[in-house]
Amino acid sequence: MNDNPQNQNVSRRQFNQGGMAAMLAAGIAPAMIGRAQAGEPKKQLGLAIVGLGGYATNSIAPEIASCQHVRLAGVVTGDVEKGKTWAKEHGFEQDAIYSYENFDKIASDDRIDLVHIALPNSMHAEYAIRAAKAGKHVMVEKPMATSSEDCKAMIAAAKKADVLLGVNYRLHWEPHHVMATERLTGGAFGNLSNGNYEFSWSYARALTGPNKDKIKKWLLDPKMAGGGVLFDTGVYPIQAACYLTGREPVAVRGFPATRHPDLFPEGVEETMSYELLFEDGFQALCRASYSQSFHQCTTLGPRGSVEILPGQPRGSVFGQSASGNPNPKRLVVNRKEIELKQTLQQGVLLDAFAQAIKNNEKTFKTPGEMGLRDIRIVEGIYESAAKDGAQVSLI
């Protein structure tokens, strides 16, 4: 039975095998997870994952064992048997397995303090709002939602319920991206002039490859995904251009292209090249594509450059750690590499979110307002694309 209540393939970031096999391959035994979660339960907040697709299986669950402030306390799934398997593997009670229909009953479950929404894009708003109404703090996957109106509704619901709302922009804690930001915003490179940012992956090839039947298909539905590749990996270049410069764009231009219309239906662009223009003249040239695998993160100023590069083996500039293993990255400043720690990004993010909750903070480092900003930028890019690349103002 599929975990998605809309009966679609909801495997998020499903590049590797999932479930118990992935955890065992990473050396994370269920008993170890249980011990980590059992330790100091009063100091750990209970997390419920909403949606048990590939992203939850491969990236979220294996890293909870590394958390000091979070333990897995429940799940929300459309597959009862899958929920039971998770309960057995991760050591939480079976009455903490919720369905999409009875999800609202989570309000009376004191074991659960926060939820992580790991569903297809179009479902983020509904379940984030329901979670907030249930009095639970909310971490939502990127993109925050498929429209700025939905983002506004999510923010309003969280404020009304007095709960924290965060967006999973995990790279704000990733050491290579953090140091790059510190160097670039510290003035050492002068007035930053240009940046080149790309996050592309070979979805087109995957859709025709030997494992095509296992590939997530909801990304091909514009109603569920919100659009094409811009709503998928395209948010990362937008994020990078903003946090690496400490600025926000004032105008955008967008140029879509689809080379394989037999694979990508109308409303799901295969490639989006886009330009972000900033008030001080900084220009970010960005691209997201399903046609090839290529990552770039280069920021330039009159006194040099800062690059984030894939590490070895199998690293990615923007990629998420998976199966309990870091995703290696490299930082190169003026052609000199700086050695930094590789981290489990999801575990670090969840610990930071839990600490913000414990400290009764009223906002989070990557709040709903940031997610709203990015969706407004996305909407501006699509508006420009519909006008043959005409510049669209964001102010």
Active-site amino acid positions: 142, 236
- Element at 253 (helix H, strand E): strand 251-257
Under a CB-based contact definition with an 8 Å cutoff, are residues 254 and 233 in contact? no
Q: Which residue is it, tokens 């479950």?
A: 109
SS3 of 252, please? strand
Under a CB-based contact definition with an 8 Å cutoff, are residues 283 and 300 in contact? no
- Element at 47 (helix H, strand E): strand 45-50
CA distance 330 to 332: 7
CA distance 237 to 289: 12
186 C-beta neighbours (distance < 10 Å), count: 9
Under a CB-based contact definition with an 8 Å cutoff, are residues 154 and 353 in contact? no
Contacts of 91 (CB under 8 A, 6+ apart): 30, 33, 34, 37, 38, 72
CA distance 268 to 286: 18
What's the Rg (C-alpha) of the chain? Answer: 20
Cα→Cα distances 41→49, 68, 165, Å:
18, 10, 23
CA distance 34 to 339: 33
CA distance 374 to 370: 6
Residue 300, strand partner residues: 194, 305
CA distance 2 to 82: 9
CA distance 237 to 246: 14
Cα 129 to the center of its chain, rounded Å: 18
Residue 96: CA atoms inside 13 Å, Cβ hemisphere, count?
22
- The pair of three-digit structure tokens given for residue 209, joined into one six-digit string: 């490859």
Under a CB-based contact definition with an 8 Å cutoff, are residues 299 and 317 in contact? no
* Alpha-helical regions (H) of 202-310: 203-208, 222-225, 229-232, 235-245
